[in-house]
Amino acid sequence: MNDKISINKTVKPLVEKLLDTADQLNVGVHTTDGGAKIIDAGINYNGCLESGRLITEICMGGLGKVDLTMSSNTPNWPLTINVHSTDPVVSCLASQYAGWNLSFVKEEDNFNALGSGPCRALALKEDLFDDLNYSDKFYSTVVVLEVDRNPPQEIIDKITNDCGVSEKNLTIILTPTRSLSGSVQVVGRVLEVGMHKLHEIGFPLDKVVDGFGSAPVPPPAPDFLIGMGRTNDAILYGGTVHLFVDVPDDEAFELAKRLPSSTSSDYGKPFADIFKEYKYDFYKIDKLLFSPAKVIVSTIKTGKTFVEGSTNIDLVEKSFNKWEKY
């Protein structure tokens, strides 16, 4: 982990590219009265696969490389996202993870969102940063919200105040989960999901050297719940992560054994069905479920590699073919 890197600085060229190519990428841009740029990547504009790919790199603070390829791992759904970072702790946990609660209650008009992106390292509003030992300072920032409406001014004010930036130096990217951009950027969290579980089970973050992940990209969904189900299933049942760590063989093996989604008691059903069974209470779902299906751990100390878990093509098929609303 490199605490000298400013992820808000490294991400700036990517944000500028998204703004400059908005027309080509079929995303909308409008400016608030205070000067913030709001990018619509799936609400009133369709967005595209490339906008989703670029937004994924933005979510990672400019420290990740993302590409879209065709793979035979899921024969009927060959479109695959590949994600790599040489600093997965900062790019995934300090930036990409959607951990900042940005909610506002105003009579009956509630706005609920979890903020993702390098803004989190400026605001430092999450306990996670106590473990990361990373913070950032920069004059501009960007936040990604998986929502289907513009945030109210109160949320914009909260972001600028907590991040210490002026409104004219803030960019907000909106990516509904059911959209093309949203599907790509959510599944693009395959490495981040593995890193988050790694942290949850207590593996030392400073021993993670490098990381790569891939998962199939589902088609856009007719509604939020199906979209959320498909994108989660892409990772839980179709995702693979390869981590390179600097630990002895026994610790690498233990990590590989504990990471796959199949270690969860909730494993084995499409995510939307699990969510429905828990009466749509996200926090009742077993936390161990949120991880890639297959995990490969290589230790640079000895060169040994340990492989645990496996992809479940049948469940990917069942999920991606689901189109009736719940």
Q: How far is CA 293 from CA 29, 76, 150, 206, 299, in A?
A: 37, 18, 34, 24, 20
147, HSE (Cβ side, Cα atoms, 13 Å): 24
Provide the β-strand partners of residue 111: 104
Query: What percentage of the chain's residues is helix, strand, coil (to nearest 5)?
Result: 40, 20, 40
Which residues fall within 8 angstroms of residue 108, CB to CB, at 6 or more apart?
A: none
Domain map of the chain by residue range?
189-326
Instruction: Identify whether the C-beta of residue 180 lies closer than 8 Å to the C-beta of residue 139.
Output: no
Gap between the Cα atoms of 70 and 188, Å rounded: 15
d(CA 277, CA 92): 30
Model pLDDT, residue 224: 86
Contact at 8 Å (CB) between 68 and 79?
Answer: yes
Closest CA to 235 of 320, 131, 298: 320
- Element housing 276 (H / E): helix 271-277
Rg (CA), the chain: 19
For the chain, the farthest-separated pair of C-alpha atoms sits apart, in whole angstroms, at 60
pLDDT at 106: 78
Residues 6+ apart with CB under 8 A from 172: 36, 37, 38, 39, 142, 143, 145, 151, 156, 159
Q: What is the pLDDT of residue 2?
A: 60
- How confident is the prediction along the chain (326 residues), in pLDDT tens digits per residue? 566 899 999 999 999 999 999 999 999 999 999 999 999 999 999 999 999 999 999 999 999 999 999 999 999 999 999 999 999 999 999 999 999 999 988 777 789 999 999 999 999 999 999 999 999 999 999 999 999 999 999 999 999 999 999 999 999 999 999 999 999 999 999 999 999 999 999 999 999 999 999 999 999 888 888 999 999 999 999 999 999 999 999 999 999 999 999 999 999 999 999 999 998 888 899 999 999 999 999 999 999 999 999 999 999 999 999 776 65
pTM, 2 dp = 0.96
Euclidean distance between the first and the last CA atom of the chain, given in angstroms as a whole number: 42
Across 185-230, the runs of DSSP E, i.e. the strands, are: 208-216
CB 48 within 8 A of CB 29: no
- Nearest C-alpha neighbor of 247 from the set 200, 204, 296, 199: 204
- Residue 268 CB contacts under 8 Å (≥ 6 apart), including other chains: 315
- CA distances in angstroms from 109 to 43, 104, 105, listed in the order given: 18, 8, 7
- The pLDDT assigned to 223 comes to 85
Fold of 189-326: 3.30.1030
Record the tokens describing residue 43, joined without a space.
């609400």
Distances (CA, A) of 177 to 77, 146, 194, 221: 18, 6, 20, 8
Query: Sign of the CA dihedral 184, 165, 92, 145?
Result: negative
**How far is it, in rounded angstroms, from Cα 241 to Cα 298?**
11
